[in-house]
C-alpha cells in the first residue's frame, strides 16, 4: 500500500550545485561570525578633551555643556583680509595693468595667512560649563584658561550681531559679581538660545544651595 502512495507524491525540486555551494558558504560565514569575538570600538580622543581632562577639570567635576564657536567664525574673521585683497588687486590693475598678477598674488597670500590663523584660533577655542564653573579656553600657542565660579556670576546676556542673526548664531556674555573675575564671552556659538538657557538654569541651581558652584 505504501508503494501506491509513493508514486502519487510530487517530486522534490532539485537544487543545482551552485545553489548548494552558496548555501554552504553562507552557513560557514555565519558560523565564523558567531565564533569571532566582538571587536571593541576604541575611544575617540581629541587634544581638547585631553587638555580638559588632565589640566582643567577638578576631581569629581562633571561636564554639563561643551561647545566650540561656529565654523562661520573662520569666514567672519577672514572677511577683512578678503576686502583688503580686493582693494590691492583693483589698485594694482588700475595703476599698472601689466602687473595685475602681482596684486592678485599678494591678495591671495594675505587671504591664506589670515584664513590659516582663523582656523588655528577656532581649533584652540573651547567653551565649557560644569556644575561648578564656566570656563573659556583660548589661545593658539599659549592657551589661556578663564573660569568663573557659578555662584560668583551676577548675570548673563545673549547678544546677536547682524552677521550672527543672519546665520542664526549668537554670543553669550557672562558677567561676574565683582572685578575679581574677568568677563567671559562665548562668542558666535550655534544654538545660542539653548546654550544660554542651560547656563542660566545651572547658575540658578548652584545659587539655590545645591551641590553646584563653589
Please give the backbone phi and psi of residue 117, each rounded to the nearest 5 degrees, phi first. Answer: -65, -35
Q: What is the pLDDT of residue 174?
A: 94
Q: Give the Cβ contact number of residue 84 at 10 Å.
A: 15
Q: What is the pLDDT of residue 42?
A: 35
Helices in 124-191 by DSSP H: which ranges?
162-166
Q: Candidates 1.10.150.120, 3.40.50.620, 2.40.50.140, 2.30.29.30; correct CATH number of 45-69+125-214? A: 2.30.29.30
Smallest Cα–Cα separation from 104: which of 116, 87, 117, 129?
87
Q: What is the pLDDT of residue 173?
A: 94
Q: What is the pLDDT of residue 179?
A: 78
Q: What is the pLDDT of residue 186?
A: 94
Domain boundaries, the chain: 45-69+125-214, 71-124
Query: How far apart are the C-alpha atoms of 179 and 164, rounded to whole Å?
Result: 29
Per-residue pLDDT of the chain (214 residues; tens, 9 = 90+): 444 444 455 555 555 555 554 555 554 444 444 433 333 333 334 455 555 555 677 777 888 999 999 999 999 999 999 999 999 988 888 887 777 888 889 999 999 999 999 999 999 899 999 999 999 988 888 888 888 999 999 999 999 999 999 999 999 999 998 877 778 899 999 999 999 999 999 999 998 875 544 4
Please give the backbone phi and psi of residue 122, each rounded to the nearest 5 degrees, phi first. Answer: -65, -40
Note whether 206 and 141 are within 8 A (CB).
Answer: no
Angle between helices 72-95 and 100-123 (to 10 degrees): 170
Amino acid at each position: 500500500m505504501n508503494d501506491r502512495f509513493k508514486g502519487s507524491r510530487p517530486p522534490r525540486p532539485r537544487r543545482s550545485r551552485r545553489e548548494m555551494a552558496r548555501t554552504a558558504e553562507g552557513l560557514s560565514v555565519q558560523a565564523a561570525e558567531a565564533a569571532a569575538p566582538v571587536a571593541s570600538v576604541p575611544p575617540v580622543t581629541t587634544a581638547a578633551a585631553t587638555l580638559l581632562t588632565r589640566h582643567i577639570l577638578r576631581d569629581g567635576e562633571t561636564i554639563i555643556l561643551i561647545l566650540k564657536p561656529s565654523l562661520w567664525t573662520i569666514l567672519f574673521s577672514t572677511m577683512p583680509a578678503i576686502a583688503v585683497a580686493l582693494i590691492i588687486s583693483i589698485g594694482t590693475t588700475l595703476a599698472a595693468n601689466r602687473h595685475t598678477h602681482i596684486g592678485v598674488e599678494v591678495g591671495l597670500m594675505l587671504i591664506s595667512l589670515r584664513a590659516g590663523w582663523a582656523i588655528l584660533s577656532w581649533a584652540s577655542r573651547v567653551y565649557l560649563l560644569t556644575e561648578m564653573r564656566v570656563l573659556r579656553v583660548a589661545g593658539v600657542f599659549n592657551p589661556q584658561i578663564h573660569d568663573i565660579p557659578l555662584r560668583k556670576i551676577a548675570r548673563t546676556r545673549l547678544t546677536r550681531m547682524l552677521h550672527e542673526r543672519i546665520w542664526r548664531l549668537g554670543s553669550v556674555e557672562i558677567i561676574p559679581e565683582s572685578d575679581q573675575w574677568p568677563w567671559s564671552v562665548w562668542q558666535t556659538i550655534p544654538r545660542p538660545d539653548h546654550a544660554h538657557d542651560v547656563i542660566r538654569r545651572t547658575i540658578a541651581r548652584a545659587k539655590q544651595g545645591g551641590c553646584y558652584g563653589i
